[in-house]
Structure 1
Amino acid sequence: MQELPVHQRADAVSSLVYEANARVRDPVYGCVGAISYLQNQVSELQMQLAVAQAEILCIQMQHEPIVMPNQEIMDLDHKSYLLHNELPQFLNFGSSSNVIHDSLKIENIFGHDMVS
């Protein structure tokens, strides 16, 4: 602590207290467990968003007329490209949640409600 500049010491103490509280709740993973859980949640939500966008795109493509001006064809080609190239990346994402305990998902984590 003494090696840190004075203006950074309060943040350092706060971080140490936060990690200590995290270790009380999860002695093995501490803050890393909470971070992994949140990253997994973000990945799941990104996948859900990609699926919803793909569904919207499919519905839009079903309602578009057969004969289109060149600009609309280019837009459709771009949408088709996204559907076939971007969506699979979201659907095949790797899960980094192996280190997360199920109890971490349910309980109140370090003063923040985590709802799974």
Structure 2
Amino acid sequence: MGGNSPCASCKLLRRRCAKDCIFAPYFPSDDPHKFAIVHKVFGASNVSKMLQELPIHQRADAVSSLVYEANARVRDPVYGCVGAISYLQNQVSQLQMQLAVAQAEILCIQMQQEPALPTHSQMDQDERSLLLHSNLDSIPQYLNFTSYPSSNVIQDPLKRESLWT
């Protein structure tokens, strides 16, 4: 930026903002909190090194990621983004289980109403079995969980368990 309007990093670090300041395009002076949080978590020197190693077209995305991770680390110093991801994966698993239970209940209700099927066609036992198994085959896909085992996942944002035990 140079001259009268130093970038947020130069303002925080109390130095003169050079014309080729690596922080200036990504940490404008009107958003000082953005650099302050990144500096607190990663340090200005490390951020500078990371940005210098990246091609210019990737730096804005890298800064966005650094800001996101820094905010997550301030909220949760131990787990950061991983804690949030694990918590959300656990919620997805619980919702998948609830969906599977609801679908099983629907299937039970449908099977209880099976006598309402046209009896004049005289469905034989094989046809009824085929109907039952075709409906049951859709349930296992909801019981397939791709997230971590529940004992390794954060169960509650206030009560944290280790991800590696």
Q: TM-score, normalised by structure 2?
A: 0.51
Deviates more, 1:52-61 or 1:63-72: 63-72
After TM superposition, the runs of 4+ consecutive aligned structure 1 residues lying more than 4 A away are: 69-73
* Corresponding residue for residue 60 of structure 1: 110
The 2-side partners of 1:54 and 1:9 are apart by: 49
Tell me how far 1:26 sits from its aligned partner: 0.6
Query: Unaligned stretches of 5+ in structure 2?
Result: 1-50, 161-165
* Corresponding residue for residue 43 of structure 1: 93
CA offset digits 1:7-63 (Å, max 9, x no partner): 211111000011111111110000000000100000010000000000000000111
Give the share of equivalent positions with the same residue, in percent: 63
Superposition map of 1:8-47 within 5 A: 8-47=58-97
Task: Indicate which of 130, 135, 151 corresponds to 1:74.
Answer: 130
Q: 1:32 to 1:100 in 2, by over 3 A?
A: farther
Structure with greater helix percent: 1
CA offset digits 1:65-101 (Å, max 9, x no partner): 3753666642322223455xx289469x931424764
Contact kept in structure 2, 1:51 and 1:87, CA below 8 Å: no
Q: Which has the higher contact order (CA 8 A, sep 6+)?
A: 1
Answer with 1 or 2: which has the greater Rg: 2
Say how many residue pairs are matched. Answer: 101
